[in-house]
Copies of this chain bind each other. A is one copy, B any other.
Amino acid sequence: MSTAQSPTPRRRGRPRKNEAADTRTHIVTAAHDEFMAKGFDAASIRGIARAAGVDPSLVHHYFADKSDLLAASLDLPMRPDVELPRILATPPAERAATLVRFILTVWDDPVVQKRGMLLLRSASGQGLVSRLIRDFVVREIFARVAASIDADDAELRAQLVATQIVGLIVLRFGLRVEPLASADVEEIVRRVAPGLSVHLIGPAEA
CB–CB A163/B167 < 8 A? yes
Q: Which residue of B lies closest to A167 (CB)?
A: B167
A177 to B: closest C-beta gap in Å: 6
| Number of A residues with CB within 8 Å of any CB on chain B | 38
Contact indicator A162/B156 (Cβ below 8 Å): no
- Which of these binds chain B: A4-12, A31-39, A58-66, A187-195? A187-195
Pick the contact of A166 from B160, B170, B179, B195 — CB < 8 Å? B170
Query: Are A159 and B171 neighbours in the complex by a CB distance under 8 Å?
Result: yes
Interface residue SS majority, chain A = helix
The verdict on A24 contacting chain B, using a C-beta distance below 8 Å, is no
* Smallest Cβ-Cβ distance to A124: which chain B residue: B174
* CB-based contact B121/A177 at 8 Å: no
A154 to B93 alpha-carbon distance, docked (Å)? 27
Query: Chain B nearest CB: distance from A15 CB in Å?
Result: 42
Q: A166-B170, A199-B191 are in contact. Are A134 and B180 (CB under 8 A)?
A: no
Contact A180 B159 (CB under 8 A): yes
B117 touches A124 (CB 8 A): yes
In angstroms, Cα B117 to Cα A183, docked, is 26
A171 adjacent to B163 (CB under 8 Å): yes
In contact, A123 and B162 (Cβ under 8 angstroms) = no
A163-B164, A163-B172, A170-B170 given; 11 more Cβ-contact pairs under 8 Å? A121-B121, A124-B174, A137-B175, A156-B191, A159-B180, A163-B167, A163-B168, A166-B170, A167-B167, A167-B170, A195-B198
